[in-house]
Structure 1
Amino acid sequence: MSAEVATPAAAPQAAAQPQGMRKNGKQWHKPKTAFRPTSGQTSYEKRQADRVATAAVKAKEKEMKEEKEAERQRRMQALKDKRAAKEEKARYEKLAETMHRKRVERLKRKEKRNKLLKS
């Protein structure tokens, strides 16, 4: 009865035992395995699936970059428009100091008409 119990426990230990002394005497190295140059190769379907996945990732990255750039351009344009409006307001205030208010308003309307004609 004790022999039956000891046999299953002894089997895993037998697999862990060393193969014997190494010929070159370097027992601290791991035992070498067979060289298999085709072991790292993947199937054509797997390579195609990987290419499709990387293409999808790159497309998503490109889309995100374009969205970010569009948002940046929108903010820059809004800032430019705001600065232009501020400069124009300051210019009209400077004109109003020397001219009558109604004449300045007439000039504004005239300039707006000219801007619309040019565009």
Structure 2
Amino acid sequence: MSTDVAASTPVPQAETVQPQGMRKNGKQWHEPKAAFRPKAGNSTYEKRQEERKAMAATKAKEKEMKDEKEEERQRRITALKEKRVKKEEKARYEKMAETMHKKRVERLKRKEKRNKMLKS
């Protein structure tokens, strides 16, 4: 019975290269080479145009995303700077309030705000 099982399963045979005969240059140990075809990989003009359009769309999307990210970063930076300026101004007014009367500090604040409005 063991011979029946062995006989019924086909043995996979490796693909053998058919001999082409003797090579002209005598180097039978080298693998035969395919012909050199420099234009084999070229695609049609329409296909290249489609690829260029797809690449341009991808680049535009990437640029848009980068610009959006940079804009967000700049917004955060300006918000931080404004926050620091306000904090410094508040500390300055508090220091002034220690030595001056409260109403005089308020008058100076209003006056400085008017000057800022005129400058910008």
Task: Identify the TM-score tier after normalising by the shorter chain.
Answer: 0.7 to 0.9
Aligned Cα root-mean-square deviation (Å): 2.3
Deviations 1:2-36 (CA, angstroms, capped at 9, x unpaired)? xxxxxxx9xx9887433234444544432111122
Give the fraction of aligned pairs with identical amino acids, expressed as a percent: 74
Kindly indicate which of the two structures has a greater share of residues assigned to helix. 1
Q: Give the aligned length.
A: 109
> Where do 1:1-119 residues align within 5 Å?
16-119=17-120
Deviations 1:44-68 (CA, angstroms, capped at 9, x unpaired)? 0011011101111111111111111
Distance change in 2, residues 1:114/1:14 (3 Å): closer
Give the unaligned 5+ runs of structure 2: 1-9
Give the unaligned 5+ runs of structure 1: 1-8
**So what's the TM-score if we normalise by structure 1?**
0.78
Whole-angstrom CA distance in 2 between matches of 1:14 and 1:74: 67
Whole-angstrom CA distance in 2 between matches of 1:55 and 1:42: 19
What letter corresponds to residue 99 of structure 1 in structure 2? M
